[in-house]
Amino acid sequence: MTRFAAPIAEQIWDMKYRFKEAGGQPIDLTVEDSWRRIAQDLAKVEAKPELWEDKFYEALEDFKFLPAGRITAGAGTARSVTLFNCFVMGTVPDSMAGIFDMLKEAALTMQQGGGIGYDFSTIRPKGADVMGVAADASGPLSFMDVWDAMCRTIMSAGSRRGAMMATMRCDHPDIEQFITAKGDPARLRMFNMSVLVTDDFMEAVKANGSWELKFGGKVYHTVEARDLWNKIMQNTYDHAEPGVIFIDRINQANNLSYCETIAATNPCGEQPLPPYGACLLGSINLARMVSDPFGDAAALNEEALADLVATAVRMMDNVVDASNFPLEAQAREAQAKRRIGLGVTGLADALLMVGQKYGTEEAARQTEHWLKAIARAAYLASVDLAKEKGAFPLMDKDAYVNGGLVQHMDDDVKAAISEHGIRNALLTSIAPTGTISLYAGNVSSGIEPVFAYAYTRKVLQKDGSRTEEEVVDYAVQLWRDKFGDTALPDYFVNAQTLEPAAHVRMQAAAQKWIDSSISKTINCPEDIDFDAFKDVYMQAWDTGCKGCTTYRPNDVTGSVLTVSEAAENAPGEDPADHVSDSGEVIYMSEPLERPQSLEGATYKLKWPDSEHAIYLTVNDVVINGHRRPFEVFINSKNMEHYAWTLALTRMISAVFRRGGDVSFVVEELKAVFDPRGGAWMQGKYIPSILAAIGGVIERHLISIDFIEGEGMGLKTDPKAEAMAVGEAPRGKACPSCGQFDMRMVEGCMTCASCGHSKCG
């Protein structure tokens, strides 16, 4: 018997979380071994480790408590990685030396697997005087380009790449350039970007007042607040960025407002953090907490929930002591405040199981009730830990009890904190849970609605063939198991059918009992008009949200995963004949056969310090008058290169012959970082020989007019893309597995097939 509720769950465990030797031989033979490894490691700091190991194992068992991926993959492995997910780096000094010191710290943090956030508001605007060098400042955007280039060369622990959040205050003189930066598709691709919006600015927007852009006490420009707001909204409408963070609200609601000021968040926005702030994440799986799902007595077991929360808080508090930290300043900050981010996943599934329709007022009230129960249990558990192990070092009882979320807690909770202190300064957060939700049996992600009741996933087999499997939402599968193929009740709703206002309602309901913030995407229809789109953000502001992230599928952002039935071929038709008239982007149902002759080019690559050059031949196929890459040959006289160049030849050629958006191959190769060091070639630093190969292939794709330019994507309208017969147009291919299953979930583009997430 397997503990996994779906094949995709076991595949995610094997790819992401299973402990293996360097050569790939599994050490965790079963998922129970993984649970035992984590439980044993996090119990080591306890006075009675055997007792707590069993208690921790029980919490992990059957996916009831889901530590974040870094904990699940790293705990008990003795690997030099951080178990923390979220970091905000130190305040960026307004000096060249200080800026590059910060760049080094960012690289060290991402090397260990942490996602980072930075506030670039502290760098003087473009054109400002630079004292002592008779020059003008280049501005924060130019330094963000440097950070972006650095991030491309750093691979995080495991298969995750570094992710970054950049913030800028709404009164910085360069804010308009910041807002429009993502209009260039080749720029700042490693960043998520958000504007720090103040209360004064929102009042000026509502009053149609003027707004000063200033730095260091000097006013550089005066603009109309509503014009600046409309510019933020227009770019978000077109490009899904920048996001909006209500920074004054965050600081006012912070339990630690008496000892810290927040100006940045982690990459997905759920953790507003001070300089060098760090936080770890974990989620209660609400879909596993409902008794008698879909029955007359269906209810969430709140007694079991409180017990699970208490165990989870203890486990997460132990992570603070068990984890490595990339920087000593991060370790000191974590120890001083012992922040944790306990959240939930499976909320939408749990609501379905008790017969409630996501997005309604009733569901919002139920959500608020459940999350208050979690917050109450978490705070009381942390008080018990303070009795046993001591409060967090920067505890000021009077200031703490009378501020932040704590002031709204029940009187008995506040009294307990006043008497005994509390172990963890902040305890709750709603983080992205896309991958761990798949691992837990495809439960609905975080507090998001069910994305799709079911979809078909292509799975690559060991022999190179692909099979199809149905991936079914956890609650829908429970319904099928109980009632067969009967029609789903009308309270089953999904992300494709919900109004944006329903999303905002649920986010606001959840925020009331979350002391940090929430990672959530408010899905908007493609045809939503601009004024209605702006209203979504005003609703988020008016209802008490700490930020807002939307996604509107369009030609720029790409469409989300489309769930539809494939049409049958008409008699006599060949699927391979169905290609776009433009011929630019093709996704074949079967790989193309190789023609007798192909056009191509051969390139010489001489890696410094290497005795022999590498020769790359890229051949193209011509379809409807357009050239697209078909195969690659990589040759070298250096026998040390033989195995990997042959493997690379076969893999890249196989990807090219599948068709579709294959430009991700370039991006993946160019991002490979060699720990032994890269090389300078033609005035540019290349992080590895594989990155150099990626650059050669990129130049070829530019030369045949397949991609727009260096660092850019396909030279095509995404709508021109043609799939296997009957499939609807899709967005961009996943850069990890190549499947067209990318979707915006919890503020981050995530692949439904392999769990790859842009945000790490």
pLDDT in tens, 393-424: 999 999 999 999 999 999 999 999 999 999 99
Answer yes or no: 266 catalytic. yes
Instruction: Centre a 10 Å sphere on the Cβ of residue 600 and count the other Cβ atoms it contains.
Output: 18
Separation of alpha carbons 40 and 210, rounded Å: 59
For residue 573, pLDDT over 50 is answered with no
Q: Which residues contact 61 (CB under 8 A, 6 or more apart)?
A: 32, 35
Q: What pLDDT sits at residue 556?
A: 65
Contact between residue 590 and residue 576 where contact means Cβ atoms under 8 Å apart: yes
Residue 624: pLDDT band (50, 70, 90) is low
* Res. 201: pLDDT tops 70: yes
Residues 6+ apart with CB under 8 A from 185: 556, 708, 712, 713
Q: In the chain, what percentage of residues exceed pLDDT 70?
A: 86
Residue 268 is a catalytic residue = yes
User: Which pLDDT band holds residue 427 (cuts at 50, 70, 90)?
Assistant: very high
Q: Residues 694-715: pLDDT tens digits?
A: 989 998 988 888 887 776 655 5
Q: How far is it, in rounded angstroms, from Cα 682 to Cα 501?
A: 53
* Helices and strands (DSSP H and E) totals, the chain: 23, 28
Closest C-alpha among 65, 74, 75 to residue 38: 75
Tokens 């870094």 found at: 70
- Which two structure tokens, joined as six digits, stand for 249? 């609200």
Residue 87 bridge partners (DSSP): 116, 278
> Average pLDDT over the chain, rounded to whole?
86
Angle at which helix 361-389 crosses helix 411-420, to 10 degrees, equals 20
AA letter at 554 = N
| Of 651, 642, 681, 646, residue with least CA distance to 669 | 651
The tokens of 32 are what? 């129970």
| Residue range 643-678, pLDDT digits in tens | 888 888 888 888 887 666 677 888 888 877 776 777
pLDDT surpasses 60 at 630: yes
- Sign of the Cα torsion 511, 514, 515, 521 reads negative
Q: Where are the alpha helices (DSSP H) in 571-688?
A: 642-658, 664-670
- Work out the average pLDDT over 131-146: 82
**In the Cβ-directed half-sphere of 723, how many Cα atoms lie within 13 Å?**
16
Q: For residue 427, give the nearest of 196, 256, 244 by alpha carbon.
A: 256
Whats the size of the chain, residue-wise?
Answer: 760
83 CB-side CA count, 13 A: 27
User: Strand runs (DSSP E) across 260-330, as ranges?
Assistant: 264-265, 272-273, 278-285, 290-291, 299-300
Residue type at position 357: K
Beta bridge partner(s), residue 164: 116, 191
Region class of 409: left (phi > 0), else alpha (psi between -120 and 50), else beta: beta
Give pLDDT tens digits for 18-47: 999 887 899 999 999 999 999 999 999 999
Enclosing H/E stretch for 24: none
In angstroms, the first-to-last Cα distance of the chain is 32
Q: Determine phi and psi for 727, rounding to 5 degrees.
A: -85, 145
Using one digit for the tens of pLDDT, what is the confidence trace for 73-107? 999 998 877 899 889 999 999 998 999 999 999 88
| Catalytic residue chosen out of the listed positions 170, 268, 751, 759 | 268
Mean pLDDT to the nearest integer, 530-545: 97
Domain boundary assignment for the chain: 93-252, 579-729
Our answer to whether residue 10 is catalytic in this structure is: no
- Catalytic residue of the set 105, 241, 270, 698: 270
Tokens 């209203």 sit at which residue?
A: 535
Across 445-454, 683-692, 749-758, the highest mean pLDDT is recorded for 445-454
Which one of the listed residues 266, 285, 424, 442 is annotated catalytic? 266
Looking at residue 179, its amino acid is I
Q: What percent of the chain has pLDDT over 90?
A: 59
**Could you tell me how far CA 511 lies from the centroid of its own chain?**
19
Nearest to 270 by CA among 341, 193, 375: 341
